[in-house]
Every structure is written in structure tokens, then in C-alpha cells.
Amino acid sequence: MATLAKPNLPRFDVEIFQNEYLADGAREVNAIVTVTSTGGGTSGGRPLGLADAGPQSGDANAAVVVLVDCSGSMDYPKTKINGAREATAAAIDALRDGTAFAVVAGTHEARDIYPGDGTLATATAATREQAKESLRRLTAAGGTAMGTWLAKADKLFLTRRDIAIRHAILLTDGNNEHESAEDLARTIERVTGHFTADCRGVGTDWRIDELRKISSALLGTTDIVAEPSGLAEDFRSMMTGAMGKQVADVALRIWTPANATVKFVKQVAPAVEDLSDRRAEAGPRAGDYPTGSWGDESRDYHVCVEVPAASVGNEMLAARISLVLPPQVGGGTPEVLSQGLVKAVWTDDLASSTRISPQVAHYTGQAELASSIQEGLEAHRSGDVDTATAKLGAAVRIAHATGNEGTFKLLQKVVDVVDPKEGTVRFRKDVSEADSMTLETRSTKTVRVKK
């Protein structure tokens, strides 16, 4: 592990967990990369990122756009639109002084209701009060076209190119019915890398896959708020998290030697997110994988590298992993924040070569847990009860074995657990749609390896 301190930057540490010993002829190297950022977020200092490529305008150091579904369905029941207003007010109250922000009403089109002139306001006591007053204009009427909401957010963020940390919060209660899936996909592709986004679905009439496509591409989260009364606390928590970010556009750079290739890169904690297809070439045999913005936090990544086969006694550097800021942030050259090494050593010692790293085994199980839940619920929806029972039984077994108590409790609302150790379960007859959607939405949340 190497940590390279940079002036005004949070401290980034990289730890590598792996079994570096391979059997004769083996080619696959697995490692868990733990990245920890300290000295940012609540520790003080101003956020760094694209803003450091030029002067800042005013005191703004982050930008947030709240996208509120105002389609007609938000009025049925009225608690949804009322809860959305209260939640947006709570988010506004959590804004740090100097933050650039806007509120957008989303229907089949997007209308910025505050400040309402196509720009971002700067958070002060006065503008926060004005923004909360404007929430009376959040009224429910019209359709749903989330691509227009994202495009509006992008346009607003582009009015403040000096700001590095850009975050959207998107709330909806329904399906994206007033634009095609292709149009939404094109918009997501166009805005990817411009800002991050957390998505929330209120009630049970929205589609998990739609919101997950948005949050996954924009390096955010998706969650369900089954009752409108829970929106305010959830929005307050999301905004507090956004205000804690301190450095933007951090990339996980992986260099591999000749004839070695990266098979996959996945974030595995705090949630499973496959980054493999987001690689951007970064020089000879190196690629960057986006990780988004950071505050005081720690995340784990599973990196799998295929190396050339070698015989007993050989050893090699399988990968060099670095945390970097892009050139436009680092003043023309990438800033290397921290580094770690992944090694491969071939041995004929069976005990060494067959030992699985506890970290690798744990997160392989967490990824299997997520897929078992999703596949099980999909099988249940299609009427295949046997497959659904087997898959959710496997999920119960993994959640129990790995200490994922949160997921285990969610599973218990969908299945009766007969034997958690063996994964013996029976589907409950009284499962609510909210419980089923909550389990599926939160299936990707993981727990870390027990120390």
C-alpha cells in the first residue's frame, strides 16, 4: 500500500487483500481493493475536482438539483405530493451555505421552479426560505418523462462549470410512460459523467429497473420509500451525504503487464455495482474505472485479472492499482492519490494455492446473494415457484452465513425461514408489494468482512 498526500486533498489509502499463490498453470488472480478517504467531508476543507481547473464563482463548492415528480399520479393519494414538498423542504434546509442549487418540477417536461430563471441559486438563509416558499408551485398534473428531468438538471449544472461536485436527487412514483426507453437511455448516456444521482421511488407503482439504470450510470443509489411520510428523513439524509463529498471525479486506474487482461471490476461495498464496461483507456495497458465523488468513507472493489500461465517458482506483478484525479483536475497531469499492488506467485504447495482470501470469498458471496434475490423474485413473478423458492433459500443461507442481518430481515418478510443454515424456506402467502420491492431494491446492499 502507498499513500501519496497532496495539498488540500483528502487522504486516500489503498489496501489489497488477496491470496497471491496460484497453482501450476493457473491464470486467474482475484483481489479485494479497499479504498478509504479521510480528511474530507465532515473533516473540513473545500471540495476539489473540476473547480480547481479554474477560479470559483462566488463561494459555491457543490451543486445540487432536486427533481420532483409532479405527474398527475402524485395526487393519488395527496400524501405523495405533500410528502414530496416536505421532503424537498428538508433537503433545502440541509444545504450548506454557498451550495448552488435548484428545484425542478418533473412531468412529461421539466420546469425549474426555483430559482426559475434557468440558473442555479446560491444557498443562503434568504434563498433557502425563498426556495421553500416556491414549493407551493409543486402541483400534480401531467405525465412522466424522466429523461427530460435529467436533461434539465444537466443544463442547470452547465451554468456553473466551475463547480466540481454535482449531484441530483430524483423522486418519482410511477413508470416512465411519456418517452420511449430508447430516449431515456440516450439521455442517460449523454449526461453520464456530468453529475451523480440518487433515485427514490415512493409507493409501489414505479419500476426498479428504470431507476436502477439511472442511478447505476450516474454512480448513485436507488431505494424505495414505501410511505410518503418517510420521504423527508430520506431526503435529509441524501442531502447530508451530498454535502459531505469533498473530491470529485476520482478514478480507479488499473495497469496490467503485457498479455494480462482485466476480467472484471466491481464495487462490492457498500453495494454491488459492476464497473467493468465503464473502462476508459488511460495509456499503455491501463484503464480508468469511475468511482464518483468522495467524502469521509470507505469502499471495497473486487478486481479479477487474467495473467499468462506460468510454472512453479515464477512470480509477477499482476496489476498496479491507483486512485487518480483526471488531468483537468490535477492541473494538466493526473494526480495519483494512492497505489496498491496485486501479485501472483506460482507454487506447488496445495495448501497455499487452494486457500481463498476471506475477503474475496465474502464478497463473492455477497454478489451471489444479490443475484439470488433478484432471480428469485423474477421467477416468482413469472409463476415459477420452485425456482423462486430455491433462489431465495440460497439467499437466506448466504445472508445468514455472512451476517447480512439487514437483508436477512427483509427476506423474512417474503419467506418463512425453516432452516437458515440450510436455506430451507417457504414463500409467505401474505407478502405485500412494498415488502417484495424493498427486498429487490436493497438486494445489492452488502456488509463488510467481519474483523
Q: How far is CA 109 from CA 116, 132, 174, 186, in A?
A: 14, 22, 15, 16
What pLDDT does residue 329 have?
Answer: 56
Q: Using alpha carbons, list the distances in angstroms from residue 416 to 65, 111, 234, 413, 427.
A: 42, 47, 29, 8, 6
Distance CA 125, CA 410 (A): 40
SS3 category, 271: strand
**Whose CA is closest to 194, among 66, 357, 304, 50?**
50
d(CA 367, CA 445): 9
* Residue 388 near residue 426 (C-beta atoms within 8 A): no
Nearby residues of 73 by Cβ (< 8 Å), 6 or more positions away:
80, 140, 144, 173, 174, 205
191-230 burial, b at 16+ Cβ within 10 Å, e below that, comes to bbeebbbbbbbbbeebebebbbbbbbbbbbbbbbbbebee
Q: pLDDT value at position 285?
A: 96
CA angle 86, 88, 92 (to 5 degrees): 115
8 A C-beta contact, residue 143 and residue 108: yes
Q: Which three cell numbers stand for residue 12?
A: 486516500
Q: Where are the beta strands (DSSP E) in 100-235?
A: 100-106, 110-114, 121-122, 165-172, 196-202, 222-225
In this structure, the number of other CB atoms found within 10 A of the CB of residue 60 comes to 23
CA dihedral 228, 233, 234, 237 (to 10 degrees): 170
Residue 190, CA atoms < 13 Å, CB-side half-sphere: 15
As beta bridge partners, residue 306 has: 28, 261
Nearest to 22 by CA among 291, 435, 335, 355: 355
Q: 169, 152, 160, 155: which is closest to 242 by C-alpha?
A: 169
- Residue 337 to residue 36: CA distance in whole angstroms: 11
Rounded to whole angstroms, how far apart are CA atoms 373 and 444? Answer: 9
pLDDT along the chain (451 residues), means of 10: 55 96 96 92 44 40 96 97 98 97 98 98 98 97 98 98 95 97 98 97 97 98 97 97 93 97 98 97 96 96 97 97 79 82 97 96 97 98 96 98 97 98 95 97 94 62
SS3 (DSSP) at 348: coil
User: How far apart are the C-alpha atoms of 275 and 272, rounded to whole Å?
Assistant: 10
Euclidean distance between CA atoms 201 and 181, whole angstroms: 18
pLDDT at 8: 60
* pLDDT of res. 451: 62
Q: Which three cell numbers stand for residue 317?
A: 506483478
User: CA 70: distance to chain centroid?
Assistant: 25
